Amino acid sequence: MHLLKTYKSKNERLIYSRDDKSKMPKYNANIISGNYPFDVKKEETLYVTQPSLPPLEEFIEYLADIWESKVLTNNGKYHILFEKALAEYLGVKYVSLFSNGTLALISALQVLRIAGEVITTPYSFVATTHALHWNGIQPVFCDIDPQTKNLDPDKIEKLITPKTTAILPVHVYGNPCDVDKIEKIADIYGLKVIYDAAHAFGVTVNGNSILNFGDLSILSFHATKVFNTFEGGAIICHDDKTKKRIDYLKNFGFADEVTVVAPGINAKMNEFQSALGVLQLKYIDQVIKDRQRVANIYRNKLKNIDGITCFDDLENVKHNYSYFPIFIDKEKFGKSRDEVYNLLKENHILARRYFYPLISNMPSYRAIPSAAIDNLPVANKTSDQVLCLPIYENLKEDEVQTVVDYFIKKELF
């Protein structure tokens, strides 16, 4: 594959090129495959997602610049540039970059000094609840809304106790939570709201970023997300005092060379991630458009199948198509979600059960009183029915058809 010319930096040191693989370090493929669940990447396999990446040639220019400057991390020029460009793109006031979304969430809880109990959804990626646990906070699980699959605001109030300090909802699959109802409850009871917006990059409601709601929101730029910086994340806040505190906390608590104002952590984004972020912003609108195309093909092909439901676009929402979840009703469709999942897997289609098992059913959390299945009927049902189908920008129509055939042609079972 001839993607790149051999590249020399200004000081004439060779940067590896894909034409010259002999200079690359050798590795033991057996050791690596032991760690990688999808290492056996095969041409014919369809993965739930594939990372969006800009042309390598363009990224090499940024790498060369970082190499020359020798500024690799700690608020370098790409970090500064990316924070500014991102705030502008997203339509928010302040962005603080993080090395990943989980550390952003753990830190967000520290920023607001959240303690005691926090009401949250069990229908999410484990990181949402883990962030509470890592802060010594008791998660209180609240059931979800059957339509949006987000925290059901009508079920929050009965879970509030004198120990409750905050609500931690998730805009799951990038579908906006009922932010107005949540804000109303938070205001009445004096609670903070931190949104886990890991899936909600670029989502707007009536033209306003979903990240402008709540006290803080966090984003994830993991490789599997609609917008990635390999790994990465951010906290969005609305005033400069909070931004300062966030920035201290992610840098060990340093306010200046000798003043440590809090027991902070190292959660900084480095220059390589930041530079990639700057470059990714150039392509993100096209990536989202391409994903929308894939989502529309799925919807058209799946719309008349009894027992299969998926989300429709909401009129006032700009969606990002970060996932394509469907919900399989065994009684109507005739096959369970797991039967479909296994059949697809046998045929090299790696759909994923995001989010199964439910966090509240995991060994670390199932003993919590609010984790009782009776308390979370909608979340349990949804978790048993969900299947996220492959979606990424260059997924072709015939590949979507291959997936959809397993739903149309019952003889394939």
Is the Cβ of residue 318 or residue 352 nearer to ligand T4K in the bound state?
Answer: 352
In what helix (H) or strand (E) does residue 273 lie, and over which residues does it extend?
helix 271-302
CB 60 within 8 A of CB 7: yes
Is the Cβ of residue 32 or residue 408 nearer to ligand T4K in the bound state?
Answer: 32
Is the Cβ of residue 97 or residue 140 nearer to ligand T4K in the bound state?
Answer: 97
Residues with Cβ within 8 Å of 394's Cβ and at least 6 positions away in sequence, in order, are: 50, 290
Measured from each CB, the residue nearest to ligand T4K is 101
From residue 132 to residue 171, the character string flagging contacts with ligand T4K as x (rule: CB under 6 A) and all else as - is --------------------------------------x-
Residue with tokens 């979606």: 391
C-alpha to C-alpha distance for 7 and 58, rounded to whole angstroms: 12
Is the Cβ of residue 48 or residue 144 nearer to ligand T4K in the bound state?
Answer: 48
From residue 10 to residue 39, the character string flagging contacts with ligand T4K as x (rule: CB under 6 A) and all else as - is ---------------------------xx-
Please give the structure tokens belonging to residue 162.
């004198």
User: Which stretch in 120-128, 243-251, 276-284, 363-371 sits in contact with ligand T4K by CB under 6 A?
Assistant: 120-128
C-alpha 135: how far from chain center = 21
Residue 50 binding ligand T4K, by CB under 6 A: yes
C-alpha to C-alpha distance for 355 and 380, rounded to whole angstroms: 10
Is the Cβ of residue 160 or residue 350 nearer to ligand T4K in the bound state?
Answer: 350
Among 7, 16, 47, 134, binds ligand T4K (CB under 6 A): 47
Quick one: CA torsion of 52, 53, 54, 58, rounded to 10 degrees?
170
C-alpha to C-alpha distance for 287 and 134, rounded to whole angstroms: 34
Report the amino acid identity of residue 145: D
CB of 349 to ligand T4K, least distance (A): 11
CB of 304 to ligand T4K, least distance (A): 29
Among 125, 195, 213, 298, binds ligand T4K (CB under 6 A): 125
Residue 124 binding ligand T4K, by CB under 6 A: yes
Nearest to 250 by CA among 236, 228, 269: 269
CB 183 within 8 A of CB 157: no
CB of 155 to ligand T4K, least distance (A): 19
Among 48, 249, 389, 404, binds ligand T4K (CB under 6 A): 48
DSSP secondary structure letters along 16-71: --TT-GGGSPP--HHHHHHH-TT-S--TT-EES-------HHHHHHHHHHHHHHT-
CB 359 within 8 A of CB 124: yes
376, HSE (Cβ side, Cα atoms, 13 Å): 28
C-alpha to C-alpha distance for 46 and 87, rounded to whole angstroms: 34
C-alpha to C-alpha distance for 367 and 362, rounded to whole angstroms: 9
Q: Could you tell me whether strands 204-205 and 192-196 are parallel, antiparallel, or unpaired per DSSP bridges?
A: unpaired
C-alpha to C-alpha distance for 183 and 40, rounded to whole angstroms: 46
Among 85, 223, 317, 362, binds ligand T4K (CB under 6 A): 223
CA angle 37, 267, 194 (to 5 degrees): 90
Among 120, 220, 280, 320, binds ligand T4K (CB under 6 A): 220
Is the Cβ of residue 64 or residue 265 nearer to ligand T4K in the bound state?
Answer: 265
User: Which stretch in 10-18, 346-354, 377-385, 396-404 sits in contact with ligand T4K by CB under 6 A?
Assistant: 346-354
From residue 73 to residue 112, the character string flagging contacts with ligand T4K as x (rule: CB under 6 A) and all else as - is ---------------------------xxx----------
Report the amino acid identity of residue 380: N
User: Which stretch in 76-84, 184-192, 207-215, 217-225 sits in contact with ligand T4K by CB under 6 A?
Assistant: 217-225
What are the beta bridge partners of residue 95?
236
User: Which stretch in 9-17, 55-63, 125-133, 187-195 sits in contact with ligand T4K by CB under 6 A?
Assistant: 125-133
Residue 45 binding ligand T4K, by CB under 6 A: no
Please give the structure tokens belonging to residue 335.
């096959």
CB of 144 to ligand T4K, least distance (A): 13
Among 6, 32, 39, 51, binds ligand T4K (CB under 6 A): 51
Residue 354 binding ligand T4K, by CB under 6 A: yes
Residues that bind ligand T4K (CB under 6 A): 37-38, 47-51, 100-102, 124-125, 127-128, 170, 196, 198-199, 220, 222-224, 233, 350, 352, 354
